[in-house]
Structure 1
């Protein structure tokens, strides 16, 4: 069994990035252009390192290998970006959320369990037609005269128009679980269902508009369940790494709607373990993963010294403490 080593992976990435990063840093140009060039190089570096290690590890180690390599890439990516130009609160808030989401989604790219598979979101146009057709059938099955059915449907159609012409039913992660897949039968603790997950690095007071979008999306999936227009029930789930005090009210409203379930903090990792079989918390403990502690000295010092204006927490505590 190949021994994955966090320190060696970090050392390889830092060594390869060092010389290139200095050239990018010293060159003339806008910071944004330099960052794009740096990201292109780091993406290629990640691909090469993972390609090499994936050939070394046992097949059963591939999920852990993918997770660890990407984690190390996150560390080096944060160091490089902060070296080019220091992170400010808004940039780091957005970036930390993107990186955390990409890291945990690897568990569905390389699942330990084999009865889980991603699916594509249905189009709103198709869904709308199916639900309307089912509604008309329900009216006719009750013996309502055709002229009255048309009258009721016209009013019903006007209500649908309030939703607009198109709603994006896609989300951060969509997957389904199976009792049987490709001729193989599975025994699983999870239900036979389709799950829609929306990942959030943090949830705060600026989420009111997003709350309304989430409710609209979930209502559409709920109607598909109600009219039995799916081969297995849909379930909508919000996975939140950090909940700010100001965000609790919006989360409660989502939970109380009965349309979304909410997983917070380590509950998210337990949920991922349940569905994909990949135990993130075990891997974190095994490799002693801590973003702030794994950053180089200069980057860690900066992240500990800078503070958020609203929460009055260090960048290290607020943005880079993920477990």
Structure 2
């Protein structure tokens, strides 16, 4: 497919391209595979098609000195059209039901929003956060240095350090996962972001982990700012617990898009409103399936 600056407006052409790829892939698929096996392979192949197109887009953008907005909007359109065909293709070999479809729409929302940070308009930089082991080693080293500066006997110093290490062992029975969904810097400020489609009724464990992770970041005193971006406007006590914790800046629904715009410099909500039309972009057969099974309600970003 030929990539130009106008690819950002070429929804029909992109949809035709991905649907053609999907049909070609299905025609050579091993028919002995069960529905799960077919869905897995087709999804992987379509993701590869999207990534190849994005690579070609980035190359063309560099060669022709596209603006940041031109590049981002091309990638947004490629990604959305790929999502449409991935959903159609999955349903053609393994029909969606409520749980799988609602979860999948949420799963696709996060990486789509992250594109505004991966190809930002504002001057920001992605970074890799420290691991829990790195943090533990840093804090332990600082504590050990302070103990060694005390005017006490060496055996007392050793006893204090051993007691400190014993506490670490008690409170950290396993490696705490510090990675969130997005980590970026603007100037000296560091932002660590968790994306969620919404909060279910069984989120206690995840909520406690998020509280612990945010507290650790705050305690590092290194300009970390934990942000929570939630797609749904309808949230429960778990969301409110994080929002009212004083250590998370939590946003949901329209407020999430305002924050994405503020940090990335791009109004992705406006792009969604102007370009995403699930009910008309998805195939008629798929839309009929969604309507019969009362699944159209989940096509809300």
With structure 2 as the length reference, what TM-score do the two structures score? Answer: 0.85
Q: 1:7 aligns with which of 7, 12, 33?
A: 12
The structure 2 residue matched to 1:70, chosen from 62, 79, 84, is 79
Offset of 1:197 from its aligned partner? Answer: 0.7
Aligned 8 A contact 2:5 2:74 in 1 = no
Quote the residue 2:256 is aligned against.
268
Contact kept, 8 Å, 1:63 with 1:278, in 2: the verdict is no
- Cα deviation for residue 80 of structure 1 reads 0.6
Q: 1:157 to 1:209 in 2, by over 3 A?
A: same
Does the 8 Å contact 1:131/1:223 carry over to 2? no
1:16 aligned residue: 21
Would the aligned equivalents of 2:230 and 2:252 in 1 still touch at CA under 8 Å? Answer: yes
Q: SS state of the match for residue 259, structure 1?
A: coil
- 1 CA distance for matches of 2:219 and 2:153? 25
Matched, 1:236 2:232: no
Please say if residues 89 and 315 of structure 1, whose CA atoms lie closer than 8 Å, have aligned partners that are also in contact.
yes
Task: Please state how far the C-alpha of 1:110 moved relative to its aligned partner.
Answer: 1.1
SS at match of 1:237: strand
The alignment yields a C-alpha RMSD, in angstroms, of 2.6
Structure 1 runs not aligned, ≥5 long: 179-191, 307-313
Q: Does 1:321 align with 2:300?
A: yes
Q: Aligned residues, how many?
A: 290
Evaluate the alpha carbon distance shift between residue 218 and residue 298 of structure 1 in structure 2; reply closer, same or farther with a 3 A threshold: same
Q: SS of the counterpart of 2:5?
A: coil
Query: Does 2:50 match 1:46?
Result: yes
Match of 1:182 in 2: none
C-alpha displacement of 1:118: 0.8
**C-alpha contact (below 8 Å) 2:185/2:191 kept by paired residues:** yes
**Secondary structure of 1:131's aligned partner:** helix
Q: 1:303 to 1:133 in 2, by over 3 A?
A: same
Structure 2: which 5+ runs fail to align?
none
Distance 1:281-1:165 versus aligned 2 partners, 3 A rule: closer
- Compute the displacement of 1:36 (Å): 2.1
Secondary structure of the structure 1 residue equivalent to 2:207: helix
